[in-house]
Amino acid sequence: MSKIFTYFSEAFEELKSNVTWPEWAEVQKYTIVVAVFSVVFALATWGVDELFAKAIAGFFSWIK
């Protein structure tokens, strides 16, 4: 149990002393970029899914 506590203690100290954290404005800017990209990617994935669903439905109705 002592090793686990030492590991987390050293990891926390590493985060406090050696990591360069971004400014709050930069975090907000990147959060907005990620949110916009996520929405665009989700819409693109939905569009491709709809396109393939219609193509496959059309193919099977054509075979029938």
Q: Does 62 fall in a domain?
A: yes
What pLDDT was estimated at residue 1? 82
Output the pLDDT for position 64.
76
Residues of the chain whose pLDDT is less than 70?
none
Question: If you compute the radius of gyration of the chain from its CA atoms, what whole number of angstroms results?
Answer: 24
Our count of domains for the chain comes to 1
The answer to whether position 60 is within a domain reads yes
**pLDDT the model gives residue 5:** 92
Does residue 4 lie in a domain region? no
Domain interval for residue 53: 22-64
3-state secondary structure of 24: helix
What lies within 8 Å, CB to CB, of 22 at 6+ separation is 30
